[in-house]
Amino acid sequence: MSIAISSIEELLGKDAEVLLTHVCKTIPKEKLHVPSPTYVDDVWYHSDRNIRVLHNLQRMFDSGRLAGTGYLSILPVDQGIEHSAGASFAKNPAYFDPENIIKLAIEGGCNAVASTFGVLGAMARKYAHKIPFLVKINHNELLTFPNKFDQIMFGTIQKAYDMGAAAVGATIYFGSEESSRQIVEVAEAFDYAHELGMATVLWCYTRNNAFKVNGVDYHSSADLTGQANHLGVTIGADIVKQKLPENNGGYLALNTGNSSYGKLDQRIYDELTSDSLIDLTRYQVANGYMGRAGLINSGGASGKDDFADAVKTAVINKRAGGMGLISGRKAFQRPMNEGVKLLNHIQDVYLSEEITLA
């Protein structure tokens, strides 16, 4: 049973009226390709994706509590590599066991479970036919000393195909010194994944210490993350994962004084975006070919108000024209029944007919 709109409003608190009544006056909703029950037919049917890719995209859209809506709720658990296993699972050691990760995704009504070659491979014969597998093919590991930040391949596309994966995922640190190599590696990997019939999801993250200017961190600025999304769909991502924008003006900040970086147009800030988080997120959607490649926002780290934060992120994503949420730490760093409840709260936002496109 879905929670009522009144419960969603209660979780949103003082932000409820602003988030639920906002009307976007930047990029009109009529320009977007928005999630729907016929999304694959309406959007990807016209592309160069082969029949097997269309099948696996449709399989994800037809799974879990959001089946048939065009929206996605994905459980990602690759933090054992990205953030180290001890730091990630100490709150709930049950998730050292790969089966519990997959059980959480199934019990939580997710469309897919995203994890490592090791986690999904350990349980592939038992579960690959029960929930779509999204295999994360590259990672940044934190055992090298000193720590470095570079996404490297942990397996092959063939291996993901052999374990029955519906999709593969990868991360690129756009803006980093290593990004050129990562772009080439991931583009080649995604091309082979499509050839074998798997869908592709790209974590389009920005990373460069220069993106912090005068004490302001622009790694999650709408303009920089929007361009990261645009690069991601250019190399073949069917779906892009992005952090919710926290600010805007990264390009402006990086072009102050004697510095020069990238290209910009003032209309990005005057016409295509505003201070609204919904409008900033819509700019991310627009950079994914106006929604032809879906935007899923990340749920972020676990904190003291996880349920409220998760619902707020889902409302912003949905009203902006996004495709859903991919939320991990908020769900698995707590008892399983609470993790299921949190995932269901996220899904209830996308199931609610009262929460519409801004």
321-336 pLDDT, tens digit each: 999 999 988 999 999 9
The backbone torsions φ and ψ at residue 95, rounded to the nearest 5 degrees and listed phi first, read -85, 5
Positions marked active-site: 241
pLDDT class for 258, splitting at 50, 70, 90?
A: confident
Residue 230 has pLDDT above 80, yes or no: yes
| Per-residue pLDDT, 80 | 87
The Cα–Cα gap between 355 and 88 comes to: 33
Return the CATH fold of 5-351. TIM Barrel (3.20.20)
For residues 174 and 82, give the distance between their C-alpha atoms in angstroms, rounded to a whole number: 17
Res 259 pLDDT > 80? no
Per-residue model confidence (pLDDT) at position 328: 87
Q: Give the C-alpha separation, 319 to 308, whole Å.
A: 16
Q: What percent of the chain has pLDDT over 90?
A: 93
- Structure confidence by residue, pLDDT tens digits, 14-30: 999 999 999 999 999 99
* DSSP 8-state class, residue 83: I
CA distance 228 to 124: 32
Contact 98, 90 (CB under 8 A): no
pLDDT for res 1:
66
> CA 239, 241, 244 angle in degrees (round to 5)?
135
- 75-129 pLDDT, tens digit each: 999 998 999 999 999 999 999 999 999 999 999 999 999 999 999 999 999 999 9
pLDDT per residue as tens digits for the range 25-83: 999 999 999 999 999 999 999 999 999 999 999 999 999 999 999 999 999 999 989 99
Bridge partners, 134 (sequence order): 114, 167
Residue 69 is predicted with a pLDDT of: 98
Span 265-309, pLDDT tens digits:
999 999 999 999 999 999 999 999 999 999 999 987 777 899 999
Q: Please give the backbone phi and psi of residue 172, each rounded to the nearest 5 degrees, phi first.
A: -125, 135
CA dist 141 and 12 (Å) reads: 35
The whole-number average pLDDT for the span 125-137 is 98
What's residue 299's pLDDT? 81
pLDDT at 202: 98
Encode 115-147: b = buried (16+ Cβ within 10 Å), e = exposed: bbbebbbbbbeebbeebbbbbbbbbbeeeeeee
- Regarding pTM above 0.95, the answer is yes
Task: For the chain, report the end-to-end CA distance as a whole number of angstroms.
Answer: 25
Instruction: Compute the distance between CA of residue 119 and CA of residue 137 in angstroms, rounded to an integer.
Output: 12
Mean of the per-residue pLDDT values for the chain?
96
Domain ranges for the chain = 5-351
